[in-house]
Amino acid sequence: MKLFIKISCCIAFVISLAFTAQAADIKIGVAEALTGPVAKYGVPIKNGFVLATEEINGAGGIKGNKIALVIEDEQAKKEEAINVFKKFIFQDKVLAIFGPTLSNSAFASDPFANAQKTVVFGTSNTAEGITAIGPYVFRNSVAEADILPIVINAATKKLGLKKVALFYGNDDSMTKSSHEIFLRAVNAEKLQVLTIQTFAKGDIDFSAQLTKIKSLNPDAVVCGALVEEASNIILQARKLGLPDKVRFIGGNGFNTPKLIQIAGKAAEGSLSGSPWFLDDPSPRNKAFVKAYTKKFGVAPDQFAAQAYDALYIMAEGIKAITISGNLEKDRTALRDSLAKVKNFKGVGGPFSFNEHRDAEQKGRVLTIKDGKFAVFAE
């Protein structure tokens, strides 16, 4: 009898081990800027991932396996982003990586992940050329090349723009890319470019460039800038007497409530583009906004929404493969299955990857009205 009990216990133990092995965690690396000025984008992105992970794991995970996020602060620095990627790939042995926050860092770190045949998925990288880095690079952030011409076209039609001033940061991949796209867009609309002014990252005094812009009496200022510089540019422009009727038009750096918090009333009327919108009445978006606000005490922004959708998109790719335990094989299988994700119903609307692993998603033109983002054109 004692022998029978011992054998039964052994069988139960083996079964338990087998079950534990089957229900292994799926490690996903999250490399975002969680400290410094760029944390304005990085923290909401991290929050979006955390919320989606809790929901997916709470619903039973993916085929019984739980997602385990490995979160690191890449500080919006190229070298740190590369170091974090190395840790994820060789030490943590993650299946895939989200991040980094800025396109500037992605151009440094993504080639490394691609060379190691590890999927890297950007949720906030909008500069031209990101997915051209290689076949393991994906993003669900709509490229500025797709959204900025729509913003310029809508502003030209609805505001009757004739002449504009361009202003951009000339030492950052994203802001330089924004400027090049904006320049092509205003030329396509046959707008007169009165002047092109530049600044460097970290500048705090823009009075010389803005005085020049004001003297030329533009209909709008088209601005390639991250939120820190963008907010100060708008504030200083209004203090110098640039009239409210002269709109500021921005790229991805404008798509955050931080612009409103820092620039206040000076930001009223500013224009930008985004697929996601806080007050989108779709049931999925309303549930997301409610859950996010309850958990983090603030409403989500575009960056949180894109991260939230990205984790569900990643889950769709993981569902379609069989985790073998051979990491190299599993990473390549994920790349192949992720590329096939089509018509995903996210909080930002229907989403698909195109043949270049870029986002296919409808964009909206947003304006700041009464201290909130509102739809300017669809």
Q: What is the mean pLDDT of each run of 10 residues along the chain (378 residues)?
A: 46 42 80 94 97 98 96 97 98 98 95 98 92 97 90 97 97 90 97 98 94 98 93 97 96 86 95 89 95 96 96 98 95 98 95 96 93 91
Strand ranges (E), the chain: 26-32, 67-73, 96-98, 119-122, 137-139, 163-169, 192-199, 220-224, 247-250, 271-274, 344-346, 349-353, 359-360, 364-369, 372-377
Measure the CA–CA gap between 67 and 148, rounded to whole angstroms: 35
- The three-class DSSP label of residue 31 is strand
The pLDDT of residue 289 is 96
Considering the entire predicted model, what is its pTM?
A: 0.82
The pLDDT of residue 23 is 57
Measure the CA–CA gap between 335 and 284, rounded to whole angstroms: 27
The pLDDT of residue 326 is 96
Which has the closest alpha carbon to 30: 80, 94, 78? 94
Which helix (H) or strand (E) covers residue 158, if one does?
A: helix 144-159
Which has the closest alpha carbon to 101: 73, 137, 129, 132? 73
